Chains A and B, each alone.
Chain A
Amino acid sequence: MSAPSLTKSKDKATRDSFGEAIRDLASEFPKIVVLDADLSVSTKSVLFAKAFPDRFFQMGIAESNMVGTAAGLSFTGLIPFCCSFGAFVAGRYETIRVSVGYSKANVKIVGTHSGLGIGDDGYTQMGLEDINVMRGLPGMIVLNPSDDATTKAAVRFATTHVGPVYLRLTRQKLPSLHQTSDFKCGRGIVLQEGKEIALIGTGSTVNECLKASKILGNVNPWIVDIHTIKPIDRALIKTLARSCKLIVTTEDHNVVGGLGTAVSEVLAEEGWNGKLVRLGVQDTYGESGDPEALYDKYGFSAQKIAEKVMSVSVSL
């Protein structure tokens, strides 16, 4: 078994898709403003900053103040996007909890550099618990798109949706998987219909699921992209539950509180009696390394996903 490459010349990091999208939406939506905390070159908000300097606010290395200021900006009718690495911005949880969540502020929080996928910089720079904490806030929409088209659609959605949104993005390039029109908030995307087995990915792991399916040959699993972690697509998960004995969730995030948890909640409430496997970071911290090697070591590379499906499905 070997992993066929699905990478193409159109591969793009979702942070780049975000930077382009926010710049391109700025004329259509004059109320968009963008804040960054000294990472605009990395989050790609710099594309907006260069094109619309009067609507860009450099807040320095001070994320709490950035989030609070964004809340205040939103109270004057503006649509602020505040950007940093997911680890840093979600780490300012108490400010997000009160100034944004409880306040129903129309603030869009953009967290790039999600997961082990950033590679060499190591754990302190990796957003590995951000989905968990953001998911815990009532009214917070949590988006984790898997490619260029759905990221751009997600940015447009965040702009027009009134209320707080967390948008989680990658540093590493991802292949093009979807059309822009495929994205609907709260509705997962079925990339492949199958039977008995489902592979659910989010963000960077959707492509791993596709590659795993190729490795698995004629197993023919469902392949599903859950780009909206909250609100989770209950209807789609129920459909998978009716069809499957084995559901595997995959995420570049701690399995505690992430996609796997969100899916397990639905399955348990629906009384499903199949087997759920949650692949992702197994309640540990991350480390430096080559992203592909890290995905392998932590058990959610395409190869590892395929191996897990093989080993679990024989005992079903």
Chain B
Amino acid sequence: MRSRAAITLTMLDSKLPQRLPHEKLKEIATRCRVDILEMLEKAGSGHPGGSLSAIDIIVTLFFHEMRSNPSEPMWEDRDRFILSKGHGVPALYAVLAEREIIPKSELSTLRRINSRIQGHPDRVLLPIVEASTGSLGQGISIAQGIALGLKLQKKDSKVFCLMGDGETQEGQVWETALSAPKYKLNNLIVFIDHNNGQIDGHVDEVMDLRPLADKWSAFKWAVQEINGHDFSQIIGALEKARQETERPSLIVAKTVKGKGVSFMENSISWHGVAPNKEQLEQALLDLSGGYKS
């Protein structure tokens, strides 16, 4: 058991994994959901469904798992997070603001001219997003390259990547599925946000991925299947992934598109449409009232 002094020291060092308890993660995730919806309403466009399905995973990464340093965001020894499904970036911006890496006031500039927070992540304007994504299927290759480069230079930072399920229809994803195990990238941990929704319909109908986990197992990844909204399951999966000595990890996180907002949940039509003012008010009521999906 760790001493009280050790715990205090850990809390003081903002660079170490925050390891916040579940209740805290849940609070932060709810605040991020509010920020996501408010910034989308203000922008008048964007992708709420996949931002809300991914948010619990991203919050867990930044507030429980990853080494990150708000006072020096590009700190060399940080863990990396690459949002391969770039359209979910409101979720990432909300978390970066909560982690005090970008100012909260900046969220209102989403999708506006001269903003660092572009409609899809731009690593030149905002380096902490690590990769410019939005053209699906590329982020995982980039994440692999970073993981490989870190290993080659004897760095122990980990690389986390989040893909959409529909995104894995891209051929490039399967090229990386083949190569990451070859290079024994146990420092690469990839989530699939499996909300079964994409623009033209349900993933099962647009282009069936099943059996998704079995496919990645066959490609020699360490595969886990979890509920992507259950913090203890997300944390448990990350703990297991950390113990891999050779294999890269693939975590299929079953999620709900639009999670937390009654009228958005499991609705394909909320993939890429922003809420208007009235819809935002209703959504905020759901979030403050603890709507149970």
A98 to B150, CA, bound (A): 22
Q: Are A59 and B179 interface neighbours, CB within 8 A?
A: yes
A76 to B149, CA, bound (A): 6
Convert B84-124 into 0s and 1s, putting 1 for each residue whose CB lies closer than 8 angstroms to a CB of A.
Answer: 00000000000000000000000000000000000000111
Mark out the residues of chain A between 54 and 109 whose CB falls within 8 Å of any chain B CB in the assembled complex. 54-55, 57, 59-60, 62, 64-65, 67-78, 80, 94-95, 97-99, 102-104
Q: Are B150 and A76 interface neighbours, CB within 8 A?
A: yes
Among B59-67, B128-136, B213-221, B245-253, which stretch is in contact with chain A? Answer: B128-136
Residues A72 and B179 in contact in the complex (CB < 8 Å), given A65-B172, A95-B172, A103-B131 = no
Mark out the residues of chain A between 153 and 187 whose CB falls within 8 Å of any chain B CB in the assembled complex. none
Residue of A64, A72, A75, A98 with most chain B CB atoms under a 10 A cut-off: A72
In the complex, which of the residues B123, B133, B134, B175 contacts A64, with contact meaning CB atoms closer than 8 Å?
B175
A22 touches B (CB below 8 Å): no
A247 touches B (CB below 8 Å): no
Among B18-26, B138-146, B265-273, B280-288, which stretch is in contact with chain A? Answer: B138-146
Residues A68 and B176 in contact in the complex (CB < 8 Å), given A99-B138, A103-B124 = yes
Residues A69 and B171 in contact in the complex (CB < 8 Å), given A57-B183, A75-B131 = no
Mark out the residues of chain B between 220 and 255 whose CB falls within 8 Å of any chain A CB in the assembled complex. none
A33 touches B (CB below 8 Å): yes
Q: A184 CB to closest chain B CB, in angstroms?
A: 27
Minimum CB distance partner of B142 in chain A: A72
Residues A75 and B175 in contact in the complex (CB < 8 Å), given A98-B138, A104-B124 = no
B148 touches A (CB below 8 Å): yes
Q: Are A33 and B178 interface neighbours, CB within 8 A?
A: no
A316 to B130, CA, bound (A): 57
Q: Are A72 and B149 interface neighbours, CB within 8 A?
A: yes
Residues A103 and B123 in contact in the complex (CB < 8 Å), given A68-B145, A72-B148, A75-B130 = yes
A226 to B246, CA, bound (A): 48
Which range contains the number of B residues in contact with the other chain? 20 to 34
Residues A98 and B132 in contact in the complex (CB < 8 Å), given A59-B179, A68-B176, A76-B153 = yes
Q: List B contacts of A54 (CB < 8 A).
A: 152
Q: Number of A interface residues at 8 Å Cβ cutoff, please give it.
A: 30
A230 to B149, CA, bound (A): 29
A12 to B246, CA, bound (A): 43
Convert A271-309 into 0s and 1s, putting 1 for each residue whose CB lies closer than 8 angstroms to a CB of B.
Answer: 000000000000000000000000000000000000000
Q: Are A94 and B145 interface neighbours, CB within 8 A?
A: no
Q: Are B172 and A64 interface neighbours, CB within 8 A?
A: yes
Q: Are A75 and B172 interface neighbours, CB within 8 A?
A: no
Q: Are A69 and B148 interface neighbours, CB within 8 A?
A: yes
Q: B138 CB to closest chain A CB, in angstroms?
A: 5
Q: List A contacts of B148 (CB < 8 A).
A: 57, 69, 72-73
Q: List A contacts of B256 (CB < 8 A).
A: none
B203 touches A (CB below 8 Å): no
Q: List B contacts of A60 (CB < 8 A).
A: 175, 178-179
B40 touches A (CB below 8 Å): no
A78 to B147, CA, bound (A): 12
Minimum CB distance partner of A70 in chain B: B145
Residues A72 and B146 in contact in the complex (CB < 8 Å), given A64-B141, A65-B176, A78-B152 = yes
Interchain Cβ contacts under 8 Å between A and B, 16 examples: A64-B138, A67-B141, A68-B176, A69-B141, A69-B179, A72-B147, A73-B146, A74-B145, A76-B146, A78-B149, A95-B138, A98-B134, A99-B132, A102-B132, A103-B123, A103-B124
10 new A-B contacts at CB < 8 Å, known A70-B145, A95-B141, A104-B124:
A57-B148, A57-B183, A69-B148, A72-B147, A72-B148, A73-B145, A74-B149, A76-B153, A78-B149, A80-B145
